[in-house]
């Protein structure tokens, strides 16, 4: 199981400190994360990033941070795509 942080920020703001909304999913399966990724992929193509998934949708930036609950370590997009769901 994983922890998923979904961070949304209005792109018109300067820096991540202004009007940032973060949702935490403390115990989510890889299949559940894939559902979230598919939802954002329908809106826009993800930006290339080695540390987390990110999209620029309309006037906001969306970032997904995935943490492995067993190891308490961050899972990169490449590592996550290799996980069998």
Nearest by Cα to 36 from 25, 20, 49: 25
Rounded alpha-carbon distances, angstroms, from residue 3 to 19, 33, 37, 74, 75: 22, 9, 14, 9, 10
Q: What pLDDT score does 48 carry?
A: 84
Amino acid 85: pLDDT: 58
Domain ranges of the chain: 2-81
Residue 37: count other Cβ atoms within 10 Å of its Cβ. Answer: 19
| pLDDT tens sequence for the chain (85 residues) | 999 999 998 866 555 556 789 999 999 999 999 999 999 999 999 998 899 999 998 888 999 999 999 999 999 999 998 986 5
Angle at 11 (CA atoms; ends 7, 17), nearest 5 degrees: 55
At residue 49, the pLDDT reads: 87
């Amino acid at each position: 199981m994983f922890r998923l942080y979904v961070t949304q920020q209005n792109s018109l703001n300067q820096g991540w400190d202004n009007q940032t909304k973060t949702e935490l999913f403390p115990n989510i399966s890889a299949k559940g994360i894939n559902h979230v990724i598919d939802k954002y992929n329908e809106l826009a193509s993800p930006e290339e990033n080695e540390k987390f998934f990110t999209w620029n949708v309309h006037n906001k930036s969306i970032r997904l941070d995935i943490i492995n609950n067993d190891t308490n370590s961050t899972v990169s997009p490449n590592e996550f795509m290799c996980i069998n769901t």
